[in-house]
Amino acid sequence: MTTAKPFLKWAGGKRQLLNELEANFPPHILETKEIDLYIEPFVGGGALFFYLLSNYCVKKSIINDINPDLMLTYKVIKLFPEELIKRLEVIQTEYLRLDTEKRKEYFYNKLREPYNKLKINYKKKDKKSWVEKSALLIALNKTCFNGLYRQNSKGEFNVPVGRYKNPKI
């Protein structure tokens, strides 16, 4: 069985705390390895969520986050995984063939600027724009400085490019 893992780096991630968190689970969950309902109000990168899905029988789960683009990305992964993977493969191929200076240009002109310009109607399912916004979010996370997510006062993603030799987008 493949273990599900977070697809993003996210500030406040719980990956390093998993053992400590698990040690504090209610005894009946530790014994039965079953969770009737898991509610995650601040899913972020989803380290705890994916750990639970991989190691416990979670009958029902509800995840949420204040970031609508992050929640959209979880939705796209569930609804349109093949399309998202194809788009990410194109971005990765284009990005990795560039030298360092050209990668900076690509980051700002082909990832960050389009991400900020693409406005989404979160209530109306639009596969093309949803997949594009999600792919851009993941690509930005994998290529920006420290995988941060930060917005300026206009609500625009404004983290600078990172320096990674071969980021796995």
Q: Are 61 and 108 in contact (CB under 8 A)?
A: no
Give CA–CA dist 86/88, Å, rounded: 5
Average pLDDT over residues 37-41: 97
Identify the pLDDT of residue 136: 98
Average pLDDT over residues 143-150: 93
Residue 43 region by backbone torsions, left for phi larger than 0, else alpha for psi between -120 and 50, else beta: alpha
Identify the pLDDT of residue 153: 95
Q: Write a three-state SS string for 86-147.
A: HHHHHHHHHHHCCCHHHHHHHHHHHHHHHHHHCCCCCCCCCHHHHHHHHHHHHHHHHHEHHH
Nearest to 111 by CA among 99, 103, 101, 121: 103
Average pLDDT over residues 79-103: 96
Identify the pLDDT of residue 139: 97
pTM confidence score:
0.91
